[in-house]
């Protein structure tokens, strides 16, 4: 669903937005990276027309994709077949935050939310801890950028 642009400051926000507020729920930075448009220099015009082809250079998602408007503000994100195509579900292979290595349930638990509502899949099941050492409150996450 298309929403308004968010401030760049939100790019590193993880936590719980209270129910009833806009975007309420547990927030995770699942991937981090850059994109390059394909076949156009004018991304805004492609979005107005309802189709944007681009390459993702993320930590988790890579390769060629297309964003296609289906109706009004509804869009589909479709992976093109390329070197990075796989039959495996990347959300199951890499379910944790790229910044803190926490799951949605762990973020909710750490930030005072409800871990049962934050889990993916069956809301009655809390995902098993990842076993990855989590950063302490107040510590900054290290983000590596490569050229």
Per residue in 50-86, pLDDT (tens digit) is: 999 999 999 999 999 999 999 999 999 999 999 999 9
Cα torsion through 81, 87, 89, 90, rounded to 10 = -50
Res 7: pLDDT: 87
Q: Which structure tokens are listed for 112?
A: 């005072």
Confidence (pLDDT) at 35? 95
The pLDDT assigned to 27 comes to 93
How far is the first Cα of the chain from the last one, in angstroms, to the nearest whole number?
A: 31
Report how far residue 59's alpha carbon sits from residue 127's, in angstroms, rounded to the nearest whole number: 22
Residue among 101, 111, 81, 91 at smallest CA distance from 15: 111
HSE-CB at 2 with a 13 A cutoff on CA atoms is: 13
pLDDT, position 2 = 84
What count of other Cβ atoms lies within 10 Å of the Cβ of residue 46? 19
pLDDT computed for residue 123 by the predictor: 37
pLDDT of residue 118: 65
Q: What is the pLDDT of residue 1?
A: 83
Query: What per-residue confidence (pLDDT) applies to 139?
Result: 44
Distance CA 130, CA 128 (A): 6
Low-confidence ranges of the chain (pLDDT < 50): 120-147
Strand-pair category, 25-27 with 33-37: unpaired
So what's the pLDDT on residue 145?
41
Global confidence as pTM: 0.69
Tokens of 38: 């394909």
């Amino acid at each position: 669903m298309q929403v308004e642009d968010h401030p760049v400051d939100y790019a590193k926000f993880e936590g719980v937005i209270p129910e009833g507020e806009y975007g309420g729920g547990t927030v995770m930075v699942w991937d981090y990276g850059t994109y390059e448009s394909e076949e156009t220099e004018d991304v805004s015009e492609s979005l107005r027309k309802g189709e944007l082809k681009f390459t993702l250079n993320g930590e988790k998602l890579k390769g060629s994709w297309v964003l296609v408007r289906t109706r009004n503000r509804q869009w589909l994100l479709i992976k093109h077949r390329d070197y990075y195509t796989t039959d495996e579900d990347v959300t199951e292979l890499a379910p944790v935050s790229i910044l803190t290595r926490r799951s949605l349930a762990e973020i909710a638990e750490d930030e005072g939310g409800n871990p049962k509502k934050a889990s993916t899949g069956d809301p009655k099941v809390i995902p098993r801890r990842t076993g990855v050492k989590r950063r302490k409150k107040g510590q900054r996450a290290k983000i590596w950028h490569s050229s």
